[in-house]
A and B are shown apart, each in its own frame.
Chain A
Amino acid sequence: MSINKYLSLTLKIWRQDNPKEAGHFETYVMHDISPENSFLEMLDLLNDQLIRQGKDPVAFDHDCREGICGMCSLYINGEAHGPDRSITTCQLHMRRFRDGETIYIEPWRAKAFPVIKDLVVDRSSFDRIMAAGGFVSVNTSGNTIDGNAIPIPKDDADKAFDAAACIGCGACVATCKNASAMLFVSAKVSQLALLPQGKVEAQRRVLHMVRQMDEEGFGNCTNTGACEVQCPKEISLENIARMNREFLIASLQSED
């Protein structure tokens, strides 16, 4: 075994039983945490202890634990997904922390993401934005044209992919001082606006998705750029600019 320095940590975790309750911080002290463990494995350990002590374990969202499902969502020491960059909470490892450190763990905080329990929030607002227009209106019959019938310039294809890489985790909203969902929404708008398949209904799409975004109670972007810094998939602010542009043009051209 390589020489591992085990960590002792103080955790301050947000506990809240249900959406209505006020919620508060609870302090837990953890010892002998291996730096090789992931952050969520550290929380697993805490929960194991809590259960054995007959206490209620901490609820947090997670599933894939490899940075791709977008389920995990913790605000750790004042940063969405913690101190590391370009990763999700589940990819954060304890080697990023110092022995004796105090770690604050809070849920995403946004009016459009109400807390369900402890660190778990309701992000279904994202789904509703998608349902408002985040698609290409093609039926699923398979009777479309051949996949190679529309050549797509590699640059556009790559850009569309980069935008499509969004995992819908909501870190952008969590970290934005305005709780704005612009990065998330613009990523989808951009992906589809960049591809010929999506261009056909690009104008409708951007108008509808922005409208739904506003109805959900997200804030207004003021271009602070924090979302880009904390996005685990490095979604670029370029997408927000593109969406602003698409929106402006669509608003000017739209007839209703």
Chain B
Amino acid sequence: MSSLESKIPQGPLTDKWENHKAALKLVAPNNRSRIEIIVIGTGLAGGSSAATLSELGYKVKAFCFQDSPRRAHSIAAQGGINAAKNYQGDNDSIYRLFYDTIKGGDYRTREANVYRLAEVSANIIDQCVAQGVPFTHDYGGLLDNRSFGGVQVSRTFYAKGQTGQQLLLGCYSAMSRQIGKGRLQMYNRHEMLDLVIIDGKARGIIARNLVTGSVERYAAHAVVIASGGYGNVFFLSTNAMGTNVSAAWKIHKKGAFFANPCYTQIHPTCIPVHGAHQSKLTLMSESLRNDGRIWVPKTIADTVDIREGRKKPGDLPEEARDYYLERRYPSFGNLVPRDVASRAAKERCDAGFGIENNDTKEGVFLDFSSAIQHYGQEKVHELGLHHPDTEEITRLGEKVVKSKYGNLFQMYEKITDQNPYKTPMKIYPAVHYTMGGVWVDYNLMSTIPGCYVIGEANFSDHGANRLGASALMQGLADGYFILPYTIADYLADDIRTGHISTDHPEFEKAERKVKDRLSFFLKNNGNQPVDHFHKALGIVMWNKVGMTRHAEGLQKAIAEIQSIREAFWKDVRVPGQADLLNPELEKAGRVADFLELGELLAMDALERKESCGGHFREESRTEEGEALRDDVHYAHVSAWEYSGDRIAEEIMHKEILNFEFVELKTRSYK
């Protein structure tokens, strides 16, 4: 297995998907009930595909490790979902959404995939509205939009600060409907621990029932992986505690190529690390940058005063503040894409202007006072008040801000104990999303026949950097509208296969391996809990494979990760039993996989000597310090093939990216 056939259809960009669909094979309705499909994950991608596939009549089994499909990490998305509806009349179009996404991704993704995504985006909104997703409406009763980083139109649909939650509940309700009808079998608190391949085709999985601990076999004609991203390889991230790479990694080890692992997104607006024992980081939605202005003090003296509490942020007059994004990128200002905003924050903090008073000395201000005044004035005007005092204006302004971001402000206050209406938020970048993932072709199939990968788990649409509000769009596009068509093309050959038995020796083999590993952990009896290794890995990843990278650091990182991995297998201690709920045992398996992925991630970063999107190589930058791409050598996807226990020996394959329709330009937000 080595050829990378992307299966991108020929023809003009606008016709590719239409033509491709017309050429896809079908499975007739009466045959579908004879075909079984396993879906791993019930986030937006998995949930929407499980619902749609069972709706179409296939027999579907869906798995998630949480106690309910409704809890997949898609719920955490706050900001919104893009769609090229042009409801606001600001000259948006499918082409513009396509172009923004390609450019936002720093020209490291397939034109055809992105165009298809933009094409189906409008359908997603219609679909979700029909399901009863309570998007925010304006007073005219129509859907409201806001704008997100890296674009100059308002195309983001949202449900207050809970867009992901509401979209997922939409999927979940569609799933619930199918579960109620008995077409969809839901396996909560089940974790996939291996893929079973029979005669070269994905034919089932091994999963552990997390409640009873039993290791179980499930067979199907195709397996869909929708297990989310791998940001937790950094230990601290905005991902949920359970988010993991294991499902994706297991298929990687069985032959699926892993593409662009080094493309990780560091989100600029997160609550800074507060100190030791922190378990995760919290995102403050990018939508806040619509109204918040980011700054640090202009002088080191003021910075130190603020850190040490001698001055309050409000004490600094306008002239003493450095609104560095507005200064450096006047045309996009605070709404530059995430990678740019994050690096700019790091640059200021590295230069000594970080405002957080702890060991990190990191953090910048996200200030709403201008917005509050501005909205207050607007309201005063609207209400026709003649002599409002400043307090009145502030009060009215705060009310407007509250109606837009109320729950985010509340969340911030609960965590930090500070009132963001009165004092600016402190924020700092944190790991958030992974653009890399399992390599898939245009049909979303991995290099293992019959094994599909959708949502954040695949590498497909975002290139080297993802624009805000486009992951939700991708997950739902994959699950509702793309996979259900493309998978039929593969399954059409399986209508005569019949039920697949779990007695096949391949199941036997996979199950034994899984059980061996579980009992290894329980018997190892080392000295350190799993988290100890996970944290150690996270520190290496953040410091050497984080926001900026250079060759020397990466080489060191690889060596360090290897030794942490070695120590892990020697010294990890996993308490408890195999036949009971055992969260430590679950974690052990996940961290073992992160320890392998971490190394590959660093290898990929080392290999890609250019800077692009979220991947910033210090060796490759312009004189002004901006990222410098190298289209001659790196306009390709790096797809890694597993070749035995030593990660260092993975083989890199290139899928050259052909740009037929857009011109590769230097990404500028100045």
Contact = CB atoms under 8 A, between A and B. Distances in A.
B480 A44 contact: no
A174 to B, nearest CB: 15
A59 B67 contact: no
B55 interface: yes
Interface string A42-84: 0011011011101111010111111111110000000000001
A127 B580 contact: no
Given A41-B279, A157-B136, A136 B130 contact: yes
A141 B124 CA distance: 10
Interface residues of A, number: 83
A73 to B, nearest CB: 9
Contacts of B280: 65-66
Given A154-B139, A161-B160, A37 B176 contact: no
A106 to B, nearest CB: 17
A136 B140 CA distance: 24
A197 B131 contact: yes
A132 B180 contact: yes
B136 A161 contact: yes
Interface string A125-154: 011001111111111111011111011111
Interface string B65-87: 01111110101100000000101
A150 to B, nearest CB: 7
B67 A84 contact: no
B480 A93 contact: no
Contact of B76 (A66, A93, A157): A66
A124 B71 CA distance: 12
Most buried by B among A69, A117, A120: A69
Contacts of B583: 57, 59
Contacts of B87: 148
Interface stretch (B166-174, B253-261, B459-467, B611-619): B166-174
Contacts of A2: 309, 357
B120 A142 contact: yes
Interface stretch (A97-105, A163-171, A221-229, A245-253): A163-171
A109 interface: no
Contact of B275 (A34, A55, A127, A133): A34
Contacts of B186: 127
Contacts of B373: none
A80 to B, nearest CB: 16
A180 to B, nearest CB: 20
Given A127-B68, A164-B134, A146 B126 contact: yes
Interface string B127-156: 111111011111111110000000000000
Contacts of B276: 34
A123 B277 contact: no
B68 A168 contact: yes
A66 B282 contact: yes
B240 A195 contact: no
Contacts of A154: 137-139, 141
Given A124-B68, A164-B166, A198-B132, A56 B211 contact: no
Contact of A116 (B160, B169, B581): B581
Contacts of A95: 417
A17 B127 CA distance: 44
Given A93-B414, A122-B67, A197-B131, A41 B123 contact: no
B143 A148 contact: yes
A163 to B, nearest CB: 8
Contact of A69 (B66, B480, B582): B66
Contact of B67 (A40, A123, A198): A123
B411 interface: yes
A36 B410 CA distance: 17
B423 interface: no
A138 B127 CA distance: 9
Most buried by A among B67, B139, B278: B67
A20 B174 CA distance: 34
Nearest to B525: A54
B159 interface: yes
A127 to B, nearest CB: 5
B311 to A, nearest CB: 15
Nearest to A132: B180
B240 A63 contact: yes
Interface string B227-242: 0000000000000111
A160 interface: yes
B48 interface: yes
B173 A135 contact: yes
B485 to A, nearest CB: 11
19 contacts: A41-B278, A50-B575, A54-B575, A62-B241, A68-B76, A87-B414, A122-B211, A127-B179, A135-B176, A147-B135, A150-B129, A154-B138, A154-B139, A154-B141, A157-B141, A164-B162, A164-B169, A168-B68, A195-B134
- 10 closest cross-chain pairs (CB), A and B: A151-B141, A135-B173, A142-B123, A144-B130, A131-B180, A157-B137, A161-B134, A147-B129, A117-B581, A130-B176
Given A91-B411, A131-B179, A142-B126, 6 more contacts: A66-B411, A86-B410, A95-B417, A135-B131, A140-B55, A157-B141
Interface of A: 1-2, 17-18, 34, 36-38, 40-41, 44-45, 47-48, 50-52, 54-57, 59, 61-71, 84, 86-87, 91, 93, 95, 116-117, 120, 122-124, 126-127, 130-142, 144-148, 150-154, 157-158, 160-161, 164-165, 167-168, 191-192, 195, 197-198
Interface of B: 48, 51-52, 55, 66-71, 73, 75-76, 85, 87, 120, 123-132, 134-143, 159-160, 162, 165-166, 169, 172-174, 176-177, 179-180, 186, 188, 211, 240-242, 274-280, 282-283, 309, 357-359, 410-411, 414-415, 417, 480-481, 527, 529, 531, 573, 575-576, 580-584
